[in-house]
Chains A and B, each alone.
Chain A
Amino acid sequence: MKLFYLMEAHIKSFLRNWKNLIFLIILPFILISLVFLSFNPNGLQKIKAGFIISSNDFLNFVSFFNYLDIKYYDELDKCINELKQHKEYVCVEIKNYGNYYVNIFYDNTREPVIWEIVERIKGTFDFIKVEISKKKTGTFIENIKYTSDKIDIIYTKIENAEKQINQLSYDLDNTIYDLKTAKSDLQNNIETMESDIYQIEYEKDRFKIEKNNFYDTTISYINQINDERSNEIKNKINYFNDYMNFYLLKLENKIESYKYSINLGKSYIKKIDNYNEKLIETKNQFSKYIYEIKNIKSDIQEFRNNINFLKKINPEDVSNPIYLYNQPVYKPEIINYNELTEKEINKGINMISLQTIFPNVLILITLFLSILVSTFISLNHINSEAKIRLNLIEDVFIHEIFSIYLSSLIIVIIPTFFVLLVGNYLFKINIFFNFNLIILIILFLCSTFIFLGMSISYIIKKESITFLLSSFILVFFVFFSGFILPSERMSTIFSYFSSNTPTKIALSALSKVSFYNQTNIIKEIFIMIEWLLFSFILCISAKKIKNE
Chain B
Amino acid sequence: MDILKLDVYDLRISYKNFILKNISFSLRNGDIFGLMGRSGSGKSTLIKTIVGLKKPDKGSINFFINNIKKPIKKYLGYSPQENALFPFLTLEENIKIFGRLYGVNKKNIDFFSNQILKRLELYEHKKKKIYQLSGGMQKRADIAVALINDPKILILDEPFNGLDISLQRFIWDFLVELSKLGKIIIISSHMIKDLQKYCTQLGLIENGIFYDTKTIVASLNQYRFNNLEDFLEIVFTNNYGDNI
B88 touches A393 (CB 8 A): no
What A residues does B38 contact at CB under 8 A? none
A17 touches B73 (CB 8 A): no
What A residues does B85 contact at CB under 8 A? 385-386, 389
What A residues does B18 contact at CB under 8 A? none
From B28-36, B74-82, B194-202, B217-225, give the one contacting chain A: B74-82
A389 touches B89 (CB 8 A): no
Q: Nearest CB to that of B100 among chain A residues?
A: A5
Min CB distance A117 to B, Å, is 51
Report if A9-B86 is in contact (Cβ < 8 Å); known contacts: A1-B100, A389-B98, A390-B101: yes
Does residue B236 face the partner (Cβ distance < 8 Å to A)?
Answer: no
Does residue B23 face the partner (Cβ distance < 8 Å to A)?
Answer: no
A13 touches B73 (CB 8 A): no
Q: Nearest CB to that of A2 among chain B residues?
A: B101
Does residue B52 face the partner (Cβ distance < 8 Å to A)?
Answer: yes
Min CB distance B147 to A, Å, is 12
Report if A16-B88 is in contact (Cβ < 8 Å); known contacts: A389-B145, A392-B51, A392-B53: yes
B76 touches A392 (CB 8 A): yes
CA distance A290 to B204 in the complex (A): 141
Given contacts A16-B89, A394-B73, list 15 more A-B pairs with CB under 8 A: A2-B101, A8-B97, A9-B89, A12-B89, A16-B129, A385-B84, A385-B85, A386-B86, A386-B98, A388-B53, A388-B80, A388-B84, A389-B146, A392-B51, A396-B101
**What are 22 A-B interface contacts by the 8 Å CB criterion?**
A2-B101, A5-B100, A6-B101, A9-B89, A12-B89, A13-B87, A16-B89, A17-B88, A385-B82, A385-B83, A385-B86, A386-B84, A386-B86, A386-B94, A386-B98, A389-B78, A389-B80, A389-B98, A392-B76, A392-B78, A393-B101, A394-B74
CA distance A227 to B71 in the complex (A): 212
What B residues does A13 contact at CB under 8 A? 86-89
B145 touches A392 (CB 8 A): no
B100 touches A2 (CB 8 A): yes
Does residue A387 face the partner (Cβ distance < 8 Å to B)?
Answer: yes
**Interface of A (DSSP majority class):** helix
Min CB distance B133 to A, Å, is 13
Query: Size class of A's contact patch?
Result: 20 to 34
What A residues does B87 contact at CB under 8 A? 13, 385
Q: Nearest CB to that of A390 among chain B residues?
A: B101
CA distance A375 to B73 in the complex (A): 30
Does residue B93 face the partner (Cβ distance < 8 Å to A)?
Answer: yes
CA distance A272 to B71 in the complex (A): 152
Q: Nearest CB to that of B89 among chain A residues?
A: A12
Query: Size class of B's contact patch?
Result: 20 to 34
Does residue A518 face the partner (Cβ distance < 8 Å to B)?
Answer: no
CA distance A6 to B86 in the complex (A): 11
Does residue A391 face the partner (Cβ distance < 8 Å to B)?
Answer: yes
Min CB distance B95 to A, Å, is 11
What A residues does B86 contact at CB under 8 A? 9, 12-13, 384-386
What B residues does A6 contact at CB under 8 A? 97, 101
What A residues does B51 contact at CB under 8 A? 392
CA distance A363 to B31 in the complex (A): 61
B84 touches A387 (CB 8 A): yes
What B residues does A12 contact at CB under 8 A? 86, 88-89, 93
Min CB distance A380 to B, Å, is 9
Min CB distance B98 to A, Å, is 7
Q: Could you say which of A2, A12, A386, A389 has the most chain B C-beta atoms within 10 Å of its C-beta?
A: A389
Does residue B102 face the partner (Cβ distance < 8 Å to A)?
Answer: yes
In A462-490, which residues have CB < 8 Å from any B CB? Answer: none
Contact code string A1-45 (vs B, CB < 8 Å = 1, else 0): 110011011001100110000000000000000000000000000
CA distance A17 to B86 in the complex (A): 12
Q: Nearest CB to that of B130 among chain A residues?
A: A385
